[in-house]
Chain A
Amino acid sequence: GENVEQHPSTLSVQEGDSAVIKCTYSDSASNYFPWYKQELGKGPQLIIDIRSNVGEKKDQRIAVTLNKTAKHFSLHITETQPEDSAVYFCAASSAGGYQKVTFGTGTKLQVIP
């Protein structure tokens, strides 16, 4: 089955700096890669996603890149703000996301004011 590895497990940045979280996946059949933000006491919230036919996608301060050959994908947050502090999960799915989604182990991001 699919295995998703995520690094780093914790990340501290100064407000205004950029944050990068990296993930690798094992199943070449995976074609949908969502990223979730989970705040304390809440369920994961989808913040951005990318499909395997796209190499990069951007939404305001958030961008994701995908390297299918290397089975790597990354989340980039620019101009970080204190409210970006949360746990971020990368994930992978085949069947375009309609079925099982396999999550990484999470990155706890702390943005220091």
Chain B
Amino acid sequence: DAGVTQSPTHLIKTRGQQVTLRCSPKSGHDTVSWYQQALGQGPQFIFQYYEEEERQRGNFPDRFSGHQFPNYSSELNVNALLLGDSALYLCASLSRRSGVYEQYFGPGTRLTVT
């Protein structure tokens, strides 16, 4: 049973560029949430996708956007990158339809903005 997978593992970008991160949820899960984890901090909720729609959003600017595909996988897009966007980006999945409310996290994508 595959867990949550994320790609790429690491990424280095320059200020002003755009980045796309990808996530495949755990088998059987239909809901994906994205979190940003700065060094030494707890994860902060960016947004959640279910049935290909953004269902809830945290306190992040519109530069952060996402998408969910029919196979439940998801992408996180960040435009006009800032140095402060350097962080570990985590994807978590759960299953609303099956009543699985525990979130399972992937290993994350480490983004460095120079």
Q: Is the CB of A101 within 8 A of B103?
A: yes
Q: How far is the CA of A97 from the CA of B100 in the complex (A)?
A: 9
Q: How far is the CA of A44 from the CA of B33 in the complex (A)?
A: 13
Q: Is the CB of A89 within 8 A of B42?
A: yes
Q: Is the CB of B94 within 8 A of A97?
A: yes
Q: Is the CB of A106 within 8 A of B105?
A: no
Q: Is the CB of A43 within 8 A of B108?
A: yes
A100 contacts the other chain (CB 8 A): yes
Q: Is the CB of A100 within 8 A of B42?
A: no
Which residues on A sit within 8 Å (CB–CB) of B59? 1
Q: How far is the CA of A76 from the CA of B44 in the complex (A)?
A: 24
Which residues on A sit within 8 Å (CB–CB) of B104? 46
Cβ distance B21 to chain A, nearest Cβ, rounded Å:
13
Which residues on B sit within 8 Å (CB–CB) of A97? 94, 101-103
- Size class of A's contact patch? 20 to 34
Contact with A along B102-114 (1 / 0, CB 8 A): 1111111000000
Q: How far is the CA of A97 from the CA of B31 in the complex (A)?
A: 12
Q: How far is the CA of A109 from the CA of B86 in the complex (A)?
A: 25
Q: Is the CB of A103 within 8 A of B103?
A: no
Which residues on B sit within 8 Å (CB–CB) of A6? 42
Contact with B along A74-113 (1 / 0, CB 8 A): 0000000000000001010000111111111110000000
| Interface residue from A1, A46, A99 paired with B48 (Cβ < 8 Å) | A99
Which residues of A line the B interface, CB within 8 A?
Answer: 1, 4, 6, 32, 34, 36, 41-46, 49, 89, 91, 96-106
Nearest first, the 9 closest Cβ-Cβ pairs linking A and B are A103-B42, A43-B105, A97-B101, A100-B45, A44-B105, A43-B107, A99-B56, A103-B43, A43-B108
17 contacts between A and B (CB under 8 A): A36-B105, A42-B107, A43-B4, A43-B90, A43-B108, A44-B105, A46-B104, A49-B102, A89-B43, A97-B94, A98-B101, A99-B48, A99-B55, A100-B33, A102-B45, A106-B40, A106-B41
